[in-house]
């Protein structure tokens, strides 16, 4: 059936990304974050492009893509990969997973350059529309993300030392 092929295709995409993630983690461990970026960037770009075009992105695939962006943000220090996370989750209208919310402050603090506050604010606006339906744990994550965004914006406007 068509639905069966679509589900198989989604699983295959997540599995393929898992292989790329394993390879990227290995080259990061060897001290080559630039190679990890080359390994993952096209796959990550394709997922967000598909989501923008209205393709359904399964949660396991969005989790794997998020894991790849976190790996690249951690390994390269580029704020671009944090912006990617906010952009992806805006398009998917997904609240960050709890482990990502916990790790974000450290990633933001280590990033070379500020977050794109317009991208972060777009994410928050998208979540705000859904926030009345959040349970207690989701509301807490939403509040943590808002606080991080406020702190990141203050850092952006702080004069250099």
Residue 95 CB contacts under 8 Å (≥ 6 apart), including other chains: 89, 127, 130, 134, 138, 141, 142, 145
Give pTM, 2 decimals.
0.87
CA distances from 65 to 37, 101, 158 (A): 13, 15, 32
Residue range 23-45, pLDDT digits in tens: 999 999 999 999 999 999 999 99
Q: Give the per-residue pLDDT at 5.
A: 44
Main-chain dihedrals φ then ψ at residue 78, nearest 5 degrees: -80, 125
């Amino acid at each position: 059936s068509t639905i069966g092929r679509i589900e198989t295709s989604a699983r295959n995409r997540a599995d393929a990304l898992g292989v790329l993630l394993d390879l990227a983690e290995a080259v990061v461990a060897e001290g080559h974050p630039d190679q990890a970026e080359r390994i993952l960037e096209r796959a990550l770009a394709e997922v967000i492009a598909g989501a923008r075009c209205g393709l359904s992105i399964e949660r396991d695939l969005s989790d794997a893509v998020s894991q790849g962006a976190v790996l690249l943000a951690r390994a390269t220090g580029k704020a671009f990969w944090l912006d990617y996370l906010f952009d992806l989750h805006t398009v998917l209208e997904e609240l960050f997973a709890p482990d990502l919310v916990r790790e974000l402050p450290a990633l933001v603090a280590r990033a070379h350059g500020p977050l794109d506050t317009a991208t972060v604010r777009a994410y928050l606006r998208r979540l705000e529309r859904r926030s009345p339906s959040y349970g207690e744990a989701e509301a807490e994550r939403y509040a943590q993300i808002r606080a991080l965004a406020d702190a990141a914006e203050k850092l952006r406007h702080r004069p250099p030392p």
